[in-house]
Amino acid sequence: MLSNASIFIASAIYLGLLFAIAYWGDRRAEQGKSLLKNPAIYALSIAVYCTSWTFYGSVGRAASSGVGFLPIYLGPTLTFLLGWFVIGKIMRISRKHRITSIADFVSSRYGKSHVLGGLVTIIAVVGIMPYISLQLKAVWSSYNVMIGAAKSPPVGLWDDKALYVALMMAAFTIVFGTRHIDATEQHEGMVTAIAFESIVKLLAFMAVGFFVSYSMFDGVSDIYQRAAAHPDLASLMTMSKAEGNWLTLGVLAMVAIIFLPRQFQVIVVENTDERHLSHAVWMFPLYLLLINLFVLPIALGGLLYFSNGGVDADTFVLALPLAEGHPWLALFVFIGGLSAATGMVIVAAIALSTMICNDLVMPILLRYFKTELEERQEMTSLLLFIRRMAIIVILLLGYLYYRVIGESYALVTIGLVSFAAAAQFAPVILGGIYWKGGTQRGAVAGLLAGFVVWGYTLVLPSFALSDWLPISFVNQGPMGIALLKPYELFGLGGMDNISHALFWSMIANVGTYILVSLFDRPSAIERIQATLFVEVDRQAALSQSVGFWGAQVSVGELRELSSRYIGRDAAHKAFSEHAIRRDIDEDHWDQAAPYTVRFCERLLAGAIGSASARVLVASVVKGKGASLDEMLEVLDEASHVIEYSHQLELKSEALESATTELQEANERLRQLDRLKDEFLSHVAHELRTPLTSIRGFTEILYDNPEMETDQRQNFLGIMVEECQRLTRLINQVLDLARIESGRETWDITEVEMRDVIKHAVETLSQECEKDNVIIHVDVPKYLSLVLGDKDKLTQVVINLVSNAQKIYKGEGGEINISLVDMGDHVRIAVKDHGPGLHEDELRLVFEKFYQAKQIGTGNPTGSGLGLAISQRIVDHLGGKIWVESDYGKGATFFFTVPFSERAKKV
């Protein structure tokens, strides 16, 4: 065991180090060298999600339910991996509107309503109390384990060390997070310190995990083997002990990672660059994986080591090192747990104090003490005082919950109560950013309904179990009405308490929100804000115009108003930067344009919230321009004008696109006409040549009846050849016409490509011998079954070989035919050794192939329509045909045909 002094000194040194890091982070930000430009710091700050619940409670839950602790971490992982676009949209909205908290977000979306902002604040404070009490309980319990003190209730209030822990955390949070008012409500030093805390608690937890697994046991596998052999622990290795509420816990965790006030603070409010989200979507899930690697081994190791019981499973991470005589490792783990608890308390208290100040206290002061506020020359001290008092009240309320109820529940159960409270924000936020129909009254009704059901089904029963209410309230229901039993509301039983509460609270919340919104008529500003939030990426122009249109107010008045709340230096700097951006001459800057009034409102919104900022700016311009109602009506009309303009823009783009397509179509038609003319000219030329020869020889024979027999026979032979040529050409034209018209019949079967090549070569053998052309065939011996029409494939090979044969002009030569297996198709190549093709000739052949899909063209290296027909046949069979040539070394025509399914299996 360790002494009080050593624990206190180590804790004080650590907390002092945190403060030094925070101070350093703030100083770097003031110097323009922000540490938050590093996306790793942003991702690590999100790990404030891992509180003492993770550090102690996950082990305790794993000791009773095995892998039942996992949904709490699978939910956030899924949110970041699959729902990052939702987070990104919330970020963009918050940046445009200077959102300072989750209450400010909801209030701003639904018409900048003070009522709604205050309601969200109350729900957040009440809902997070259990979570803060969890941290106090964890710190105090771990401290008792460290000093070996027996767990006993305190004699009096001042004897309770947990009270001192709460006061210490309050003081540390005040020094840590409320040293000054920042117009952006971003705490760069705090975020840097939280990132450092995340590293400390990860290292501490992994250190005890390695110690238990590889020092106390022979590795993780040894722990699992021993647990599997133990009759009481074997079930923890399966899903049998895991509770049946995985879906409920997973959904709770998915929404809690965004809508818990502290998570909204670090993910949205403290974000300085939306691009950091692309790193967080994998870094944060990786962090969750690492910190949970040893949860189950520690839990099983603790159960095996303390087989006689007597040690709370929540404290295994401390009890195991202490039992093995490693107090300094236990102290490091204690610091890790303290880090997890203080990180959560600091961020949650800062977020809640901002909400209490901006959305609860300031609206009341502006409504009932407006005169007194206007007499104050400086408001920053008042804002800081309100936030500091709020932090103290928050921590004391957390301590009160711990004393009244906290001892009745395990750490995990306490945390789930807060998760269920945070889930009440999900409908109004998700509905608010994707549904324009959500209204302020609908949001208020939905939140109230869900909050009441949450309190009735979870909070009030906890008072009964702690003997602050009669236990009959839980067992029989109020006044004995069984249908109103909080754990079996309206007779719905068979569910665990958390799932039951979430089900009914969401039914009440979502149902009321939608129904009231559908029958409600939103105000002008609600419609405008709905458009700005839902269409955040498209409504930049409207967002810049929403302000006090027509107001006549001086820049000096706006600057003075801002100075009172954010400080004179900060206000003057902000207005100077605004003037530079707008290219305004500050020496002649008297009257404020609407966009400057809007800028002032956004500047104040960063310090006191959007709703209070609107009231303050309205008080300055009141009576000097358009009234608020008139302005909203104008803006409402403006939104419709912008929407109509956008529709016209889309129609204009569509018309322009259609015009371009029409021009392209006309160009294609002109090209087709040209190709058609070329085709007809080519066919006419091919037909005219043999006809002219036949007519010429006929006239010679007719005019010379006494011609010698040998010469007559020679002329007749030439005429027969020309007739055959004419017949082939006519057949080709007819074949091409049938294919083009779709009347060609196809006999598609499995074809052995070797037989096709063999038959084509045999058909041309006599003609090749006459021209002294030698054909070399190189085909594999294995099957090459393709799916095609045998006769037409033979025609393709004959056309290509005939084309190559004509290259030699009867002077002799060689033609090489090869077949290659290309995986899912065969490639046939017909190569000649003639002069080859020039670059222009090669390009022309390519053009002929491409054009052949529309207009049949001939082969520039031969006569007839063979290539056009071949292209159509190959294309119909799902293959390709092309030519390659190296000038002076011949040309090679290739075509491919797909294998049949049977050939692919072989």
pLDDT in tens, 833-852: 888 776 666 666 655 554 44
- For residue 208, what pLDDT is reported? 94
Q: Does 423 score more than 80 pLDDT?
A: yes
Given a contact cutoff of 8 angstroms between Cβ atoms, the answer to whether 856 and 679 are in contact is: yes
- For residue 803, what pLDDT is reported? 82
Condensed to tens digits (0 to 9), the pLDDT of residues 272-320 reads 888 899 999 999 999 999 999 999 999 999 999 888 777 888 889 999 9
Percent of the chain with pLDDT over 90: 21
Condensed to tens digits (0 to 9), the pLDDT of residues 350-409 reads 889 988 988 888 888 888 777 777 777 777 788 888 889 999 999 888 888 887 775 555
Q: Which amino acid makes up residue 401?
A: Y
Radius of gyration of the chain (CA): 42
Helix (H, G, I), strand (E, B) or coil at 497: helix
Q: Measured between alpha carbons, how far apart are the two ends of the chain, in Å?
A: 73
Given a contact cutoff of 8 angstroms between Cβ atoms, the answer to whether 575 and 329 are in contact is: no
How many whole angstroms separate alpha carbon 347 and alpha carbon 321?
Answer: 30
Range 694-707 average pLDDT: 68
Q: How far is CA 103 from CA 94, 106, 353, 700, in A?
A: 12, 5, 11, 107
Parallel, antiparallel, or unpaired for β 773-778 and 813-821? parallel
Contacts 24+ apart (CB under 8 A), 781-784: 783/752, 783/903, 783/906, 784/752, 784/753, 784/754, 784/819, 784/821, 784/826, 784/899, 784/903
Helix (H, G, I), strand (E, B) or coil at 149: coil
Percent of the chain with pLDDT over 70: 77
E-strand ranges in 658-784 read: 749-752, 773-778
pLDDT band at 812, cuts 50/70/90? confident
Q: Does 410 score more than 60 pLDDT?
A: no
Alpha helices in 35-160 (DSSP H): 39-46, 52, 58-65, 71-82, 84-97, 102-109, 114-147
Given a contact cutoff of 8 angstroms between Cβ atoms, the answer to whether 46 and 266 are in contact is: yes
Neighbours of 226 (CB within 10 A): 16
Q: What are phi and psi of 895, to 5 degrees?
A: -150, 155
Condensed to tens digits (0 to 9), the pLDDT of residues 711-720 reads 767 767 676 6
Q: Does 624 score more than 50 pLDDT?
A: no
- For residue 854, what pLDDT is reported? 36
- For residue 834, what pLDDT is reported? 82
CA 245 to chain CA centroid, Å, is 26
Among the ranges given (262-276, 342-356, 852-866), the one the predictor scored with the smallest mean pLDDT: 852-866
Given a contact cutoff of 8 angstroms between Cβ atoms, the answer to whether 201 and 53 are in contact is: no
Range 412-421 average pLDDT: 81
Q: What rounded mean pLDDT belongs to the chain?
A: 79
